[in-house]
Amino acid sequence: MTAVMTVKQVRKVYGGKNEPQFEALHNINFDVEAGEFVGIMGASGSGKTTLLNILSTLDQPTAGEVVINGQNLAALKGDALADFRAREIGFIFQDFNLLENLTAYDNIALPLSLQNVAAKKIKPAVAKIAATLGIDQILTHYPTEISGGQKQRVAAARALVQEPSILMGDEPTGALDSKSAKDLLETMTQLNEQQHVSILLVTHDPFSASYCQRILFIKDGRIGTELKRGQQTKQEFYQQILQVLGRTEQGGD
Amino acid sequence: MLWKLALTGIKSRLRDYLVLLSGLAMASAIFYMFEALALNKSFVTSNSPVSMAFLVFQFGSVLLAIITFIYLLYANNFLLSMRQRDYGLFMVLGAKGRKLGQLIFIETLVIGSVATVLGLLIGLGLTELTGHLLLSRMHLTVHHFTPFYGPAMISTLIFFGVLFLLAAIVNQVQLRRTPVLTLLHRDTQPTHLQRQPRGQFFQSLLGLILLAIGYWSMIKIDVLKMSSIGIALVTIVVGTFLLFRALFTWCLQCLKRREHFAYHGLNNFVLAQLQFRLHDLNRMLTLVTLLFALALGALTVGMGFQSQLHNIADVSPYDVVLHDPTAAQQKKAAQLDIKRQWQVDYKVVKGTVYFNRAQFTQPLLAIHQSTTTSQKAYREIKPSELTLAKQQQWQQTLNDWLRPNDYGHPVRVVDAGAYQALQGPHYRVVAIQTKNFYQALPQIKQLVITDNQENHFPSSVGLVLSKYQSYELMNSLVSGLEFMGFFLGIAFLAMLASCLMFKILAGAANDRRRYQMLGKIGTRSKLLRRSVNREIGVLFALPAVLGVVHVLFGLQLFEVSGLLTHPYRDLLVPFSIFGILYLGYYGLTVKLYQHLVLPKFK
Ligand SMILES: Nc1ncnc2c1ncn2[C@@H]1O[C@H](COP(=O)(O)OP(=O)(O)OP(=O)(O)O)[C@@H](O)[C@H]1O
Ligand SMILES: [Mg+2]
């Protein structure tokens, strides 16, 4: 197996020269193999969003390096960085981040038109991903006219339409009710198992995490425990996650 | 409790309120100043040429009233959009609709009165400043000119009072009619395109027809007189609105349907952005178009008058004509930079003026009748042409030489013998053509004044004007007009700028979210910038193009009525001045907007 993403010695210090310094990330190291479904868990303020922003090229690490699909992110600047983000990274946000003035179809088509894909090729690409995510019935609707779960599927479709190397999500189920959250997670699992999409999911919800194959626990900017699902069922894995969480919380106090 | 909530709402958006308040205050300040200058009897009646300027000012103040009205509509809309979300939230928390209606009513009135009073104070200062500037430009001295003018104050108060009362009522009704959910999600409600192509077609057609009527009525001002302006104002305002409402929507739809265009880069997004606030844009673009046209028109006309000043004022080929000059006058005249000089005598017998043919040794000058250039050409009349058969050609030029009292009498040129035999008062004339009339103006002024003192009789004052006097008269009128042009131009541009500012502030929060998101999914920052440029570019370009067309037709008013002889000849300068100013505003708006909405990734 080859690594789709390698994170080496990543540090992040907030605060400029004359400001109070705060080390949000402290020497983070891990890999994501191609086709893997990895979760990152941690309490509020542990540095999950900070890490994901760095991995998704929205922010730069103070030290260390990130390689995605063979490309060192530090070597990218300006347009090349934007293009890399558009092509290689699919991102779903907690608050959907759809353009509410475009229809679902147009939202999904946006990354393709940004890459100047011919109009003829856009239609089949959108139709294909919409069918996979079960949103082909609502493509002509505007975001205000569809439910939260549907919005997040549209956002996922938009993230995946370019067939990126890796799909990242920062609490994508955070704004969804449990039914919609479950549906979305099952769809992601399906994408992972059938289409071999690599996924990196940030969450603090043990139920969401139990869908992953491997979980990295982050605490105060450091990766502590690593948990592998192996042959366990989801329920067993869920219990195991709860145990780890209980232990780390006791250990933290 | 509700009051406290309302007040905190205001506090949290203090900056927006300040923008609104300063915009409204400027509107009332400009209105007061205009009224104070336009209605001020003490300076209107003090000098005859100013009465023309007075008419112009009256017209200007009617325009200003209309513009201010539209401007207030827009500002009020901005106020309402600021408050709707808050009030929706209050309603969810259980506040009664009636109570909130009262609240917005009072809020509108309070903001209105504060702005009006503030505006009056600023207006006093502005009037003091511009009043004196205007008077000195028109070479007028008015005793006790004060910026405080009661009637103007009252008309400003009434005008703004009525408008704000109307606005308050409208706001109250609007707020109570709108469902709570709509209030809460005001900003995120996509305004879908109307899907009635037929209605849109008729609206486009009606708009075009109305514009055609408006243009036609301006061309026909000689037939329609003042009603032409009334018709044009109504039809052009409504026509412009319909055109934007229908035509603009239609164009957006067409572009969206063209997949090659729509699904390329951020085009679809820009189209959606423009579509999203379609209703706002309709009104705003109409307003901006009208302001643009008025401002550009005022500037063009003002400069047109100035550039034609030399032409209009050039009533005679002779720069100075002295009658029976004293030694002192002759000495002064000799110091002029003389190109040609004539010295002849004439006698007045029984209401007829006689010249001595023997004294005409060099050609006379006459104004070329068929001249079209800005500098009038002179034609020479040889002494041999001073015959009875050709007298039509030389009567006028010799009339220019007569004392005001003799002006208009029939003129004869007789042989030396006959001249000697004539019995009657005789006068000596010295006529001078200088090398440059405008450079010699100060010395000419002195000569003309002393000559007038000796040869003018009260009955003839103002009837016959020397070249210098007619220049002075035209100069005062033209300065007034030009001043008005610049003044209106700048006032309108200022309103235009704050309208666009409202648009930016009202929409930036939402747009920011969108642009940040686009950045996150990997849009190149150059593309983002270009899309901002395009969005705002469309907002600026559409009204500019339509505004220029309005102005080109509007100049017909001046061409047909004869106020300007060549309104279309000197378009380059005013159009470039305006273009540069307008482009400046565009650049500034784009920069501001980019600063507000574009993401900054490291
Ligand atoms: N721009 C910033 N400047 C300074 N400190 C920051 C900045 N952003 C985040 N931090 C700090 O870094 C730490 C990690 O923040 P981060 O947003 O990554 O947490 P998180 O794990 O995503 O939390 P949550 O689960 O609440 O979203 C926090 O202590 C936060 O206060
Ligand atoms: Mg977070």
pLDDT in tens, B434-463: 888 888 877 888 888 788 777 766 555 555
Q: In the predicted model, is pLDDT for residue B376 greater than 80?
A: no
Q: How far is the CA of B188 from the centre of ligand 2 (A)?
A: 25
Q: Which residues of B touch A78 (CB under 8 A)?
A: 524-525
pLDDT at B468: 78
Interchain CB contact of B185 with A (< 8 Å):
yes
Collapse the DSSP code of A253 into the 3-class scheme (helix H, G, I; strand E, B; otherwise coil) and give the result. coil
Residues with beta carbon < 5 A to ion ligand 2?
Answer: A 49
Q: How far is the CA of A205 from the centre of ligand 2 (A)?
A: 12
Write the pLDDT tens digit of every residue in A198-222.
Answer: 999 998 889 999 999 999 999 888 9
- Identify the sign of the CA torsion B251, B257, B259, B260: negative
Interchain CB contact of A104 with B (< 8 Å):
no
State which of A21, A28, A49 you would mutate to test the pocket of ligand 1, scoring each by most atoms of that ligand within 8 A of its C-beta: A49
Q: How far is CA A133 from the centre of its chain?
A: 16
pLDDT at B549: 93
At residue A187 the predicted structure's pLDDT band, cuts being 50, 70 and 90, is: confident
Question: Burial code of A147-180, b = ≥16 C-beta within 10 A, e = fewer?
Answer: ebbbbbbbbbbbbbbbebbbbbbbbbbbbbeeeb
Q: Which residues of B touch A93 (CB under 8 A)?
A: 520
ipTM of the complex: 0.86
pLDDT at B373: 43
Question: Burial code of B33-55, b = ≥16 C-beta within 10 A, e = fewer?
Answer: bbbbbbbbeebbebbebbebbbe
Shortest distance, CA B99 to any CA of chain A (angstroms): 30
Which percentage of chain B shows pLDDT scores above 70? 80
Is the CB of B263 less than 8 angstroms away from the CB of A109?
yes
pLDDT at B601: 63
Which one of A141-150, B281-290, B563-572 scores highest in mean pLDDT? A141-150
List ligand 1's pocket residues with C-beta within 6 A: A 14, 22, 24, 42, 44-50, 204
Interchain CB contact of A89 with B (< 8 Å):
yes
CB A172 within 8 A of CB A184: yes
At residue B79 the predicted structure's pLDDT band, cuts being 50, 70 and 90, is: confident
Q: Which of B337, B267, B318 is nearest to B527 (CA)?
A: B267
Is the CB of B522 less than 8 angstroms away from the CB of A89?
yes
**Domain ranges for chain B:** 1-189, 191-314+467-602, 320-465
**Domain ranges for chain A:** 34-57+76-249
Selecting from A56, A79, A100 the residue whose C-beta is nearest the C-beta of B524 gives A79
CB A62 within 8 A of CB A236: no
What CATH superfamily is the domain A34-57+76-249? Answer: P-loop containing nucleotide triphosphate hydrolases (3.40.50.300)
User: Phi-psi region for residue A57, left (φ > 0), alpha (ψ -120 to 50) or beta?
Assistant: left
Q: Which residues of B touch A56 (CB under 8 A)?
A: 520
pLDDT at A200: 94
State which of A50, A54, A222 you would mutate to test the pocket of ligand 1, scoring each by most atoms of that ligand within 8 A of its C-beta: A50
Q: Which residues of B touch A57 (CB under 8 A)?
A: 601
Q: In the predicted model, is pLDDT for residue A5 greater than 90?
A: yes
Interchain CB contact of B22 with A (< 8 Å):
no
Q: In the predicted model, is pLDDT for residue B490 greater than 90?
A: no
Q: Tell the residue nearest (CA) to atom 8 of ligand 1.
A: A50
Write the pLDDT tens digit of every residue in B500-524.
Answer: 666 666 667 678 888 888 988 888 8
Higher pLDDT, A132 or A37: A37
Q: Which of A163, A180, A214, A176 is nearest to A39 (CA)?
A: A214
Is the CB of A86 less than 8 angstroms away from the CB of B275?
no
Selecting from A101, A113, A117 the residue whose C-beta is nearest the C-beta of B275 gives A101
At residue B48 the predicted structure's pLDDT band, cuts being 50, 70 and 90, is: very low
- Closest-approaching ligand to the CA atom of A40: 1
Q: Tell the residue nearest (CA) to atom 6 of ligand 1.
A: A14
Query: In a 10 Å sphere around its CB, with 0-12 CB exposed, 13-18 middle and 19+ buried, how is residue A125 labelled?
Result: middle
Higher pLDDT, A196 or B396: A196
Q: Where are the beta strands (DSSP E) in chain A?
A: 3-14, 22-33, 37-41, 63-68, 71-72, 89-92, 166-170, 198-203, 214-219, 222-228
Is the CB of B524 less than 8 angstroms away from the CB of A82?
yes
* Pair type for strands B338-349 and A22-33: unpaired
Contacts of A253 (CB under 8 A, 6+ apart): none
> Which H/E stretch holds residue B431?
strand B426-434
Interchain CB contact of B190 with A (< 8 Å):
yes
Q: Which residues of A touch B275 (CB under 8 A)?
A: 101
Summarize the confidence of residues B20-42 as an average pLDDT: 78
Is the CB of B268 less than 8 angstroms away from the CB of A113?
yes
Interchain CB contact of A100 with B (< 8 Å):
yes
Q: What is the mean pLDDT of chain B?
A: 78
Give the number of beta-carbon pairs within 8 Å between A and B. Answer: 94
Q: How far is the CA of A92 from the centre of ligand 2 (A)?
A: 13
Interchain CB contact of A53 with B (< 8 Å):
no
pLDDT at B43: 54
How open is the CA angle B231-B232-B235, to the nearest 5 degrees?
80
Which percentage of chain A shows pLDDT scores above 70? 97
Is the CB of B272 less than 8 angstroms away from the CB of A102?
yes
pLDDT at A11: 93
Interchain CB contact of B188 with A (< 8 Å):
yes
pLDDT at B372: 44
Q: Which of A87, A114, A140, A170 to mutate to test the interface with B (most CBs of B within 10 A)?
A: A114
pLDDT at A168: 92
Interchain CB contact of B273 with A (< 8 Å):
yes
Residue B92 to residue B89: CA distance in whole angstroms: 5
- β-partners of residue B340 are B433
Q: Which of B191, B516, B520 to mutate to test the interface with A (most CBs of A within 10 A)?
A: B520
Q: How far is the CA of A162 from the centre of ligand 1 (A)?
A: 30
State which of A10, A19, A41, A48 you would mutate to test the pocket of ligand 1, scoring each by most atoms of that ligand within 8 A of its C-beta: A48
pLDDT at B392: 75
Is the CB of B525 less than 8 angstroms away from the CB of A109?
no
Residue A227 to residue A212: CA distance in whole angstroms: 10
Q: How far is the CA of B87 from the centre of ligand 2 (A)?
A: 31
